[in-house]
């Protein structure tokens, strides 16, 4: 009899354990989606591989809408040329994270995949460069070292001036503007990178003046000597702030060295980058 009672108890215990056993598949998609709202996009994509429930939760529009910038509808229409309502929010985020060119292919915009923050780049071809049409001074040279596959190369000039403008709808926040420049002419020889510094001169005589202004009233200027021949350097031109009341903002940025007592040359002008100011320490130390 004792053995029978023990057997019955073991059977009940086993049944109880079986009934209480749960797994990740039992978690409701709505609960998972609510948790995803507090995670970064790469974390969501990793967790979506766990099972069907997590994958379904990762597709919820309300999850990805929290990762998109406030101006995402403007970006979809201007950059992707689509109706914002024709794409699900996850696809919208994925497409905007890829570099997307606009304005004739000379400007590029993308979202940082970790934060959803807006980033922009403006090619040298989209800027006004003094003497750019005179091959005695400037040339456009192809290179793999530019995201636009070409840079403006200065051989020699007396009056150096580069001016760019951009009108765009930015999400609220603080942004930093950088000129990407290179002293020397980079190229490849036998598959290895080489840099010709023969024409580099004049940049240690007087500093280059960088200026930044916006339609919201921000104005800033600074001076800096160009340095590190043979390397790409991001020169900080200034910062500007966008608040909720600015639907579109006009930005003007420039760099100049117009002291005509000496010539300068041997400089590659690639592009201008506009990043959230919080990225400055991470990317341009």
Residue range 134-178, pLDDT digits in tens: 999 999 999 999 999 999 999 999 999 999 999 999 999 999 999
How far, in Å, CA of 129 to CA of 108, rounded?
Answer: 19
pLDDT in tens, 16-36: 554 556 666 777 888 888 889
> pTM to 2 decimals?
0.86
Phi and psi at residue 20, to the nearest 5°: -90, -10
Query: Could you tell me if 155 and 199 are in contact, meaning their C-beta atoms sit under 8 angstroms apart?
Result: yes
Has residue 285 got a pLDDT over 50?
no
Has residue 182 got a pLDDT over 80?
yes
Share of the chain above pLDDT 70, in %: 89
pLDDT in tens, 113-137: 999 999 999 999 999 999 999 999 9
Name the pairing type of β-strands 192-196 and 185-189. Answer: antiparallel
What is the rounded average pLDDT for all residues in the chain? 90
Query: Could you tell me if 48 and 58 are in contact, meaning their C-beta atoms sit under 8 angstroms apart?
Result: yes
How far, in Å, CA of 122 to CA of 143, rounded?
Answer: 16
Domain boundaries, the chain: 29-100, 119-284
- The domain defined by 119-284 folds into Jelly Rolls (2.60.120)
Compute the average pLDDT of residues 94-111. Answer: 96
Has residue 242 got a pLDDT over 60?
yes
**Which pLDDT does position 5 carry in this prediction?**
45
Has residue 12 got a pLDDT over 90?
no
End-to-end CA distance of the chain: 80
| Nearest C-alpha neighbor of 52 from the set 73, 38, 79, 32 | 32
Compute the average pLDDT of residues 40-62. Answer: 91
């Amino acid at each position: 009899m004792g053995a029978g009672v023990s057997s019955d108890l073991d059977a009940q215990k086993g049944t109880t354990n079986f009934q209480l056993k749960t797994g990740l598949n039992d978690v409701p998609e709505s609960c998972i989606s609510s948790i995803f709202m507090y995670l970064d996009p790469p974390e969501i994509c990793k967790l979506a591989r766990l099972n069907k429930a997590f994958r379904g939760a990762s597709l919820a529009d309300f999850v990805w809408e929290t990762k998109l910038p406030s101006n995402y509808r403007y970006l979809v229409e201007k950059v992707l040329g689509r109706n914002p309502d024709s794409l699900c929010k996850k696809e919208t985020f994925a497409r905007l994270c890829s570099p997307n060119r606009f304005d004739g292919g000379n400007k590029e915009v993308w979202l940082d995949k970790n934060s959803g923050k807006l980033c922009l780049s403006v090619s040298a071809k989209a800027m006004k460069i003094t003497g750019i049409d005179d091959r005695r001074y400037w040339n456009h040279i192809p290179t793999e070292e530019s995201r636009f596959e070409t840079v403006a190369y200065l051989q020699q000039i007396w009056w150096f001036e580069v001016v760019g403008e951009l009108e765009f709808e930015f999400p609220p926040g603080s942004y930093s503007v950088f000129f990407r420049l290179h002293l020397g002419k980079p190229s490849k020889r036998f598959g290895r990178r080489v840099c010709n510094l023969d024409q580099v001169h004049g940049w240690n005589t007087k500093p280059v003046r960088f200026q930044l202004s916006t339609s919201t009233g921000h104005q800033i200027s600074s001076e800096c000597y160009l340095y590190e021949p043979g390397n790409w350097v991001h020169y900080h031109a200034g910062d500007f702030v966008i608040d909720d009341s600015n639907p579109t903002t006009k930005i003007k940025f420039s760099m100049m060295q117009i002291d005509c007592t000496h010539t300068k040359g041997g400089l590659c002008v690639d592009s201008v980058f506009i990043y959230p100011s919080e990225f400055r320490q991470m990317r341009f130390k």
